[in-house]
Amino acid sequence: MSSDKALTGKHALVTGGGRGIGAAIVSALLMHGARVTLLGRNAEVLAKTVQEHKASGELDYVTADITSSASVATAFARAVERFGRIDILVNNAGQASSAPFAKTDEALWQQMLSVNLTGTFHCTQAALPAMLEAGWGRIVNVVSTAGLTGYSYVAAYCAAKHGVIGLTRALALELATKGITVNAVCPGYTETDIVSQAVANIVAKTQRSEDQARAELAARNPQKRLVQPDEVANAVAWLCLPGSAAMNGQALAVAGGEVM
């Protein structure tokens, strides 16, 4: 990705910013000149990522449980105190758990909804008032192709991610004349911890080798490979640029053609 510093003076907050896709998004936004706040639950992981990127620009971290509106409000207040109002919100934090639908208990169902959908709701509500006051903002929800299609054995996850797509589209229309865009980026199977867990589950349940399990996931992508975190980050950063103002209410699949 080329650096044009088009986001100089903008403050971006990235949830789940400590590793994987989130850390790649942090790097991409810094490259474009934004000040970046990482938000997550593990201070040690966040601090390490900040240390690794400190030469690239201004960044800091805050800790929060995104399923708690009070925790989110406290963290966002600290972020604003450090870097000013939040101009860009990237809702990247999420969790994935698998189970046959008949064995999906209420605890798993609620966990998937709380982290993936309600967490996005809490963070968006916390960031939106300042964007409305400024008349400018970018909200990008990192979802999944599971928000666009169905996958077996992850009914709760699919339901939550479909909910985020619905929220994205509804809010995009509500804010269309306010200078704020709301979009989603939907990665296919990506080289992240979540995929590593999926591989481990396949190995444990089917006795396939790790290479066979990874190949099974990669086979869903017409390019026959796993998506890389930087590829997702490039799409997110592009949606945040001033020149992407006409992109609104979209759900971009970054999946090698898996979903069209």
Q: Which residues contact 39 (CB under 8 A, 6 or more apart)?
A: 13, 14, 15, 16, 17, 46, 61, 62, 63, 64, 66, 75, 79, 93, 123
Is 157 marked active-site? yes
Please give, one letter per residue, the 3-state secondary structure of 43-84: HHHHHHHHHHHHHHCCEEEEECCCCCHHHHHHHHHHHHHHHC
**Residue 61 to residue 39: CA distance in whole angstroms:** 6
Nearest to 95 by CA among 146, 130, 171: 146
The C-alpha angle 114, 115, 116, rounded to 5 degrees, equals 100
Residue 130, both tokens: 């300042």
Q: Residue 37 — φ and ψ, nearest 5°?
A: -110, 125
User: Which secondary structure element, helix H or strand E, spans residue 213, and what is its range?
Assistant: helix 210-218
Q: How many CB atoms lie within 10 A of CB 223?
A: 12
One-letter amino acid identity for 177?
T
Residues 59 and 30 sit within 8 Å (Cβ to Cβ): yes
Q: Which of 61, 151, 157, 189 is catalytic?
A: 157
Supply the residues annotated as catalytic.
157
